[in-house]
Structure 1
Amino acid sequence: MACLPVPYPDELLYSVIARYSVYAGITSPKQLLDEVFQNRKIIASVAFQGHLSQISAHYQGNADLTPNKLLQGHTLFPLYSPFVHPNIAAQAKHELLTDCRHSAEVQLGKAASKVKSPHYLRYCPLCVGAQVKQYGEAFWARRWQLPGLSVCAEHGMYLIRTPVLISEVHRHQFIALSPHVLLHSSALRTTKKIALLAAYAQQLLNLPERRIHSLQWSCFYYQLAKQLGFVRGKRVEHNLIANLVLGYWGVHTLASFSLNINRADENNWLRCLFRKHRKSFSYLQHLVVWQAFYEQQLELAKILFEVSQLPQSHYDDVPAHIEPVIVDQIRRTEWQHVVAKFGVKGARSQGFAGLYIWLYRHDKQWLMQFNQGSVRPSIAKISKVDWPSRDKKYVKQLILLMNKVETQLYSGRHTVTWLVTHANIPLSQIKHLEKLPLCKLFFEKYCESIEEYQCRRIALACIDFLKKHEQLKAWRIERVAGLSKERTRPIVSQLLGYAVKYEAS
């Protein structure tokens, strides 16, 4: 069992495992995964390190280092969980705590978020100095890796980017914060507003877990707009809200957060935030709006508690009532003209959404009947591509390629992608194989399975040894072929055994 170091306050689990590799003198990423997880396929995640039950087991029942406490105190999970649907948060949490594969980055919205995560690990030089002075070593802190924010919450300084890339290139490697990744550059102080925003984000990381439904967020933002006088009747004045947010932050600051507000776009993120929530929003989108509304009077714990107590219904505080039927022949005629010109959906996107809303509220029965009778018949799409001719052209290119490479044992595995690429066929054509029957038949016949590709590599190694008049040894053939006992398929191992016995006889 690996003797993992106890995490420091606000330290990422990624950093804890990286420090253990330094203490144990482990230089091989695969060996580190073997010791910590007993699994060489674990991916090193900065934001959401999974398999927390295995990590917690290394602390032998320490009550302060349970899987749930590791999740809340040493990952970025608290930054996302309050703002996604409770069922999604619960599913992601279950996958992170257990020893199964997880898709937390997708489930919690990190992968597709408008607010992008950093591509490189970052640090604050003042924090590093304080860490070395207090603990005798430096480590990766959570507050340095917040999506969209490159500011230290403790010192209000811009973070410095290290050469450590967070990507697929080193996805199994845990890299510690050591002197060789620190850069000799001075940090710059940020503005008071951005420093305050970073402090709020740090505060959010340390709050207890709250499960909040998306309808509760919808109700909260409607009430928030109403309290500040941004609601007229039942309609939210989105332009006034945009004026407030833009006036507080400024266009350039919002652009630095990747939160540009396009007033011409009816579906910009700020408008969607004050509408019914059909998707989750990033923590930074929420904090940017809250700080613009409350500034220094922002109490995150109080806000999350109040939202969690709201009813799970949209605009619950507004009494529901049926609008009286008003027959306005002028509006009916205008709607008939624009629908005849643009269609029902096109009319709403061509600037007549207000007319549609008025008719929906006051003359709904007539509007629905008219729209159903005005649905344009779908026109069958006429293909502009001669697929049979293209099929014959591509299969000829593939046959010419196969004639050249079928005797070349050094070529890569003959997959669909490999063949299409080397035959100079656009990769996009693979999506239309149902229209290319000859190409599809070619791929079914000539594409190599893993077993076939490994057999070809074994044959290549044997030919090389025979040309050099060297004795065939199984371990030498596997090494030259780039195979191992773990990766070699059973049928390939059987072929290797036949080759060694044949040479011996």
Structure 2
Amino acid sequence: MLNFPVPYPDELLYSTVARAGVHFGITSPKILLDEVFGDRNIVATVDLPTHLQAISEQYPKSLGLTAETLTYKHTLFPLYAPFVPEARRLKCLDQMTRRTKGAVHLALGVTASLVRQKQHFRICPECMDEQIARHGEHFWVRQWHAPGCAYCLAHEGLSSVRFEIRNSHRHSFIALAPTIACLPPRSNSPPYDKRIENGVNSLLALPPAPSPSLEQWSLFYKHLAYDAILTRKSKVIFDNLKEKVLASWSPQKLHELGIPISDSQTNWLRLSMRKHRKAFSYLQHIVILEALLGPNWSFEEVISQVRKQHAPKTTAPFFAPTTPSHVFQTKRREWLKLVKTMGTRMARLSGWGYLYTWLYRNDRSWLKEINQKHKKTTRSENRRVNWYERDKLLLEKLEAIQLAHIGIQDSPRRSATWYLTQAGCRNLSRKIEKLPLSAAFLENESEDIASYQIRRIEITLQAQSAVKLPYWKLLRLSGLSPQKMKRRTRQFLRDQGWPS
């Protein structure tokens, strides 16, 4: 596509594609997708678009607008990239260059995040006037559409417009027009509190770089809480942390952001100070960093500090330096005597749990080795049932059922399940290994499918003995189909003079 528009600074790629449709007079969304991507199934995505390789190929290489450059300068990907592991960051970058059907939103945690995604496009009227004066046209700006942003950095509050981000025509790219209608404001936040917007702008300005690991984020917050005098020994005092955060952020503001603070054990604030097992939202990071570092911080400095975090090396087995060695030997002997006599689980349940806990904290490698050597099962054998007597009684029932049906030809297939059902013991099929006599009877006397098919044919032949039946009618009266007929059944029919 010749003369494809170059994105303006901080413009969404969604907006660039929409402007392309305006420049070339394309009113059909499908035709625009054909021209730009060569694919009519592209979904118009505002925050984390895909198929960026197709867009980067619209520009000459001299502009340097590669797929990675477009991702970091013209999408909301920088808001999530520093907080996910490096392998996932690279995978998402690769997925955004091609077709992935929403996988990027799942991988970055956007789909399951506590943070509410915006429903409507937003604008800053003053910025729109400046766009006309400087560029001669309007375009959608990234910072306007970052979840949590309520203000323009250069002007006042942002206004939502009537167009929904996820509109009914999901393939349509909507261009920003000067006549667009705004919705009434809903936010009751204190005016001009732009700490979220400053944090978002700091993230959007970051260049492509490797992401810190979740372990490094865990260590960083552990040290940050220690520096803020929020720890007792190695534990973070949650009440003090909560008080400090609420002194910086009002509960109303946190509720608007979708990240309220509660006393629950699974609340995000409590989990953020523990070992990070998942990535947290940039809004959660901004709230904590603003409360603990004050106003003069930036994500560039914070992420640089996070990358420097290294877990201390530990040696195993670990001995507490303040505990004499004879104490370890005494406790080892006590626990070894217990596990030899009753096993690990019973020793813990018999009032020796404190000894297990002490050894687990101070001598873990030795404890695991000893427990594995003296592992005992606690499962007892069920002796409530005399399986030998039950086997003899069941065999008598099965033989009686067989005798009662000797002269009966028209009956269902006499399988093992049929015999057990007639005996009223169908549930014993799961315990058949404990009933060897009955199992041998069922194996020898049960009717297989071929025998059952032959019996049905014999019943039909006896009922129609006066008439020579054609092959197809014989099968119909017998309730058989050629597709399900066994090889022995076919051989029986051939022996009887029917071609099969």
> What TM bracket, shorter-length normalisation?
0.5 to 0.7
SS in 2 for 1:275: coil
Structure 2 counterpart of 1:268: 267
Contact (CA 8 Å) 2:48, 2:105: kept in 1 or not?
A: yes
Contact (CA 8 Å) 2:318, 2:363: kept in 1 or not?
A: no
Equivalent residue runs for 1:343-382 within 5 Å: 361=361
Give the TM-score normalised by structure 2: 0.63
SS in 1 for 2:294: helix
CA-CA distance at 1:64 after TM superposition: 3.5
Structure 2 counterpart of 1:41: 41
Contact (CA 8 Å) 1:83, 1:280: kept in 2 or not?
A: yes
- Note the alpha carbon deviations across 1:238-282, whole angstroms, 9 max, x for none: 22111100111021111111111111x112101111111100000
- Note the alpha carbon deviations across 1:203-225, whole angstroms, 9 max, x for none: 21011223211111011111111
Structure 2 counterpart of 1:161: 160
Distance 1:355 1:130 in 2: 72
Structure 2 counterpart of 1:210: 209
CA-CA distance at 1:155 after TM superposition: 2.1
The share of aligned pairs that are identical, in percent, is 36
Distance 1:235 1:22 in 2: 58
SS in 2 for 1:49: coil
SS in 2 for 1:194: coil
Structure 2 counterpart of 1:93: 93
Contact (CA 8 Å) 1:2, 1:35: kept in 2 or not?
A: no
SS in 2 for 1:133: helix
Structure 2 counterpart of 1:181: 180
Q: Could you say if the C-alpha distance between residues 272 and 89 of structure 1 is closer, same or farther in structure 2, counting changes exceeding 3 Å?
A: same
Equivalent residue runs for 1:50-61 within 5 Å: 50-61=50-61
CA-CA distance at 1:363 after TM superposition: 9.1
Structure 2 counterpart of 1:71: 71
State the structure with more CA Rg.
Answer: 2
CA-CA distance at 1:179 after TM superposition: 2.7
Structure 1 counterpart of 2:199: 200
Q: Could you say if the C-alpha distance between residues 126 and 242 of structure 1 is closer, same or farther in structure 2, counting changes exceeding 3 Å?
A: same
Distance 1:253 1:375 in 2: 54
CA-CA distance at 1:299 after TM superposition: 2.4
Q: Could you say if the C-alpha distance between residues 190 and 267 of structure 1 is closer, same or farther in structure 2, counting changes exceeding 3 Å?
A: closer
Contact (CA 8 Å) 2:80, 2:108: kept in 1 or not?
A: yes
Structure 2 counterpart of 1:407: none
CA-CA distance at 1:60 after TM superposition: 2.2
Equivalent residue runs for 1:252-291 within 5 Å: 252-263=252-263, 265-291=264-290
Contact (CA 8 Å) 2:318, 2:362: kept in 1 or not?
A: no
Contact (CA 8 Å) 1:138, 1:177: kept in 2 or not?
A: yes
Q: Could you say if the C-alpha distance between residues 25 and 243 of structure 1 is closer, same or farther in structure 2, counting changes exceeding 3 Å?
A: same
Contact (CA 8 Å) 1:214, 1:277: kept in 2 or not?
A: yes
User: Aligned residue pairs: how many?
Assistant: 356
Structure 2 counterpart of 1:246: 246
Distance 1:201 1:244 in 2: 22
Distance 2:216 2:145 in 1: 29
Equivalent residue runs for 1:125-140 within 5 Å: 125-140=125-140
Q: Could you say if the C-alpha distance between residues 210 and 357 of structure 1 is closer, same or farther in structure 2, counting changes exceeding 3 Å?
A: farther
Q: Could you say if the C-alpha distance between residues 187 and 115 of structure 1 is closer, same or farther in structure 2, counting changes exceeding 3 Å?
A: closer
SS in 1 for 2:122: strand
CA-CA distance at 1:362 after TM superposition: 6.3
Structure 1 counterpart of 2:142: 142
1:111 partnered with 2:111: yes
Amino acid at match of 1:240: N
Distance 2:355 2:291 in 1: 33
CA-CA distance at 1:184 after TM superposition: 7.7
Q: Could you say if the C-alpha distance between residues 180 and 361 of structure 1 is closer, same or farther in structure 2, counting changes exceeding 3 Å?
A: same
Q: Could you say if the C-alpha distance between residues 123 and 248 of structure 1 is closer, same or farther in structure 2, counting changes exceeding 3 Å?
A: same
Q: Which consecutive unaligned segments of at least 5 residues does structure 1 have?
A: 330-338, 344-353, 378-505
CA-CA distance at 1:164 after TM superposition: 1.3
Q: Could you say if the C-alpha distance between residues 12 and 376 of structure 1 is closer, same or farther in structure 2, counting changes exceeding 3 Å?
A: farther
Structure 1 counterpart of 2:483: none
CA-CA distance at 1:309 after TM superposition: 2.3
Give the TM-score normalised by structure 1: 0.62
CA-CA distance at 1:149 after TM superposition: 2.6
Contact (CA 8 Å) 1:52, 1:97: kept in 2 or not?
A: yes
Contact (CA 8 Å) 1:34, 1:40: kept in 2 or not?
A: yes
- Note the alpha carbon deviations across 1:426-458, whole angstroms, 9 max, x for none: xxxxxxxxxxxxxxxxxxxxxxxxxxxxxxxxx
Q: Could you say if the C-alpha distance between residues 153 and 357 of structure 1 is closer, same or farther in structure 2, counting changes exceeding 3 Å?
A: farther
